[in-house]
Amino acid sequence: MKDFWNARYKEKAYAYGKNPNLFFKDSLDKLNVSGKILLPAEGEGRNAVYAAKKGLDVLAFDISAEGKNKALKLAQLENVEIDYRVGELNQLNLKKNNFDVLALIYAHFPENQKKELHQELVKLIKPNGYIILEGFSVNNLAYREKNPNVGGPANANMLYSVEEMRDTFKDFEIIELQETEVELNEGQFHNGLACVIRFIGKKIAS
């Protein structure tokens, strides 16, 4: 997968555009949080740069070095700083209970890694910290068949459901959780009517 993403991000154009994902932007604006934010699978940095413009201390990571290159160029263009690392979660030695926000925006992982990755990511969020997630629903496969340009994995096991969110993030107070249709207009690879899962949760202090 590293080669796939490096090839996609090596192109001059930003694959998913330079603007932040709208749900991420609106959620960040609504929650009005401060402190540290973690953005896994951050690609070319559009969401990381927006978070930095909001005054958050940003740590982003991805397996793609080309994604990092594009993200740092975008950050420079927008006159902000982000800490962007290349690697997988288990290589980064991140502190537990250290982040005020975790954002998973179209961060889709293989079935044999997804649950464990989510469990490890949750440990990094502070008590009363937030998770913001938007990803393709299992029901997006039908939308993808009609319009391949909408994007998203073709493997249902990499997609999300409302039930999965409730189960995976059971230690979170649900602020918002829904499956919804959305008209995507994000660069070259997210275009058209899609079916997505949107989730905002607040980590319950034990």
Angle, alpha carbons 94-99-102 (nearest 5°): 100
145 CB-near residues (< 8 Å, 6+ apart): none
Left if phi > 0, otherwise alpha if psi is -120 to 50, otherwise beta: which for 38?
beta
Instruction: Tell the CATH topology of 2-203.
Output: Rossmann fold (3.40.50)
* Residue 82 in tokens: 């982000």
pLDDT averaged per 10 residues, the chain (length 206): 94 97 97 96 98 98 98 98 97 96 97 94 97 98 96 96 96 98 97 98 92
Give, in order, the Cα–Cα distances in Å from 83 to each of 10, 48, 90, 110.
20, 9, 17, 26
- The pLDDT assigned to 58 comes to 98
- The pLDDT assigned to 206 comes to 73
Query: pTM of this prediction?
Result: 0.97
* Residue 54 in tokens: 């909001």
- The pLDDT assigned to 1 comes to 86
- The pLDDT assigned to 189 comes to 96
